Amino acid sequence: MTPRLACFDLDNTLIDRDGAFLAWAQWWGRREGLGADGVEWLLAHDQGGFRPRADLFAGVKERFGLAADVTTMVDAYDREHPPFVSVARAVVAGLVSLRTAGWRVAVVTNGGVLQQSLKLERTGIGAVVDYCCISEAVGVRKPDPRIFKIAATQTGATLIGGWMVGDHPAYDIAGGIAAGLSTVLVGNHHPTAATPRRAPTRHFASVLQAFPAILNS
């Protein structure tokens, strides 16, 4: 029998991306001498990571009169913020439990290859899943359902009876539904992006609740 596929978003689903951004902002702001205003400005303009980094750093450069050019700052950010990311051990255990039960497990994330790879390596998540599908590497982004088909092909799994777990109603939930997957919405990071047409199969406060729900499906 062809194994079923469980897909997981990375940022603010498997890992606390916003917490890592805050920790990075405090460190970077101190290093650059931005003062308390710097961290506040970064948090106010980050848009949960969805604001293009070139825009973010162009803004911080202008606001605080920084000398470095924007490209250099973005490149440094891509390398320097992944070490601030951590993962709960229970999350890693949950991913392992799915594979032990015969599921194929994939991370499906929109983002750049360098920073997402560093996060997957740093947290150990990359080592316990079957495949990591990074949009920049495969040339397709969520919510395009083709990204889930790529994950199924790469893991030798079927999308039938599969799941997508994520925190974003438009990218993770609508995308998963378009690919024919059952879905779990995690947390309440994007309340304004929710619509009835993207109603998830389940909605949990934490990704930890998704593991038993999938195992029992």
Where along the sequence are the contacts to Mg ion (CB under 5 A)?
9, 11-12, 167
Closest approach of Cβ 32 to Mg ion, in Å? 27
- Residue 130 is given by DSSP the state S
Closest approach of Cβ 189 to Mg ion, in Å? 7
Closest approach of Cβ 12 to Mg ion, in Å? 4
Q: Mapping DSSP to helix (H, G, I), strand (E, B) and coil, where does residue 126 land?
A: helix
Of 149 and 189, CB closest to Mg ion: 189
Closest approach of Cβ 37 to Mg ion, in Å? 28
Q: Which residue is nearest to Mg ion (CB)?
A: 11
Half-sphere exposure of 63 toward its Cβ, with a 13 Å CA cutoff? Answer: 19
Of 11 and 16, CB closest to Mg ion: 11
The helices-and-strands tally (H runs, E runs) of the chain is 11, 6
Q: Mapping DSSP to helix (H, G, I), strand (E, B) and coil, where does residue 13 land?
A: coil
Of 11 and 130, CB closest to Mg ion: 11
Of 17 and 70, CB closest to Mg ion: 17
Tell which residue, 138, 137, 144, has the closest CA to residue 164: 144
Tell which residue, 169, 168, 198, 156, has the closest CA to residue 10: 168
